[in-house]
Chains A and B, each alone.
Chain A
Amino acid sequence: DIALTQFPDSLAVSLGERATINCKSGQSLFYSSNNRNYLAWYQHKPGQPPKLLIYWASTREFGVPDRFSGSGSGTDFTLTISSLQPEDVAVYYCHQYYTTPDTFGQGTRLEIK
């Protein structure tokens, strides 16, 4: 199984400031035949299902605010929220769909400082 390790486990950021969450994979998620990284990011709020934010490591899902961005390739990936808003308080997960079984990072809890 491909292990995904997120860091930090929790993060407190002031409103309007940048939040950065990292995800490291135990093996490359880059598929050279289509030049894509098989990694997604989700936002998970209590009582709601996870919400897809980013796929192919850097493609923003339709309707997701442009303050959310994804970057990275191979084994190292980053989710950045450029200007934290109150509604961004949540747990964030990375997810690899490169191979079965799909695996998730352990989650990063984002709070307001």
Chain B
Amino acid sequence: EVQLVESGGGLVPPGGSLRLSCAASGFTLSLYWMHWVRQVPGKGLLWVSRINSDGMTTDYADSVKGRFTISRDNAKNTVYLQMNSLRADDTAVYYCVRSRGSGFDWGQGTLVTVSS
């Protein structure tokens, strides 16, 4: 069974940093592109970032470019999202997502709250 378990969310002041982790199991992580998608409470889904299977190619939404960094350690079956210079509008549930190339499989999500 595919499992994606996010961790690392929490409360952080504006300008602070957090690193989210996504522990993958039930499949061979190194074969899949992985993404992060976020959802502001009560709002819709917004794609944040993606990384290819070997970690050499990354893409970011314009709203996080230069502040967030996606990475992966296939040996540890883990994907990361380093979030710096956090702003109030980054407050959201962050989902780790596996791309099948034909849709997404989703983790449970982790809540990030940016507030003083």
Contacts and interface: CB of A to CB of B under 8 A. Distances in A.
Interface band, chain B: 20 to 34
Contacts of A40: 102-104
Interface in B82-115: 95, 99-109
Interface residues of A, number: 22
B59 interface: yes
B47 interface: yes
Of residues A52, A101, A107, which shows the largest number of chain B Cβ atoms within 10 Å of its Cβ? A101
Interface in A40-80: 40, 42, 48-52, 55-56, 59, 61
A30 interface: no
B11 interface: no
Contacts of B31: none
B26 interface: no
B72 interface: no
Majority SS at the chain B contact face = strand
Contacts of B95: 49-50
Of residues B46, B95, B102, which shows the largest number of chain A Cβ atoms within 10 Å of its Cβ? B102
A49 B102 contact: no
Contact of A52 (B46, B59, B103, B107): B103
Given A101-B59, A101-B61, A52 B50 contact: no
Interface in A66-106: 93, 95, 97, 100-106
A97 B100 CA distance: 10
Nearest to A49: B106
B51 to A, nearest CB: 12
B44 A49 contact: no
Given A49-B108, A49-B109, A97 B45 contact: no
B44 A102 contact: no
A52 B47 contact: no
Interface of B: 35, 37, 44-47, 50, 59, 61, 95, 99-109
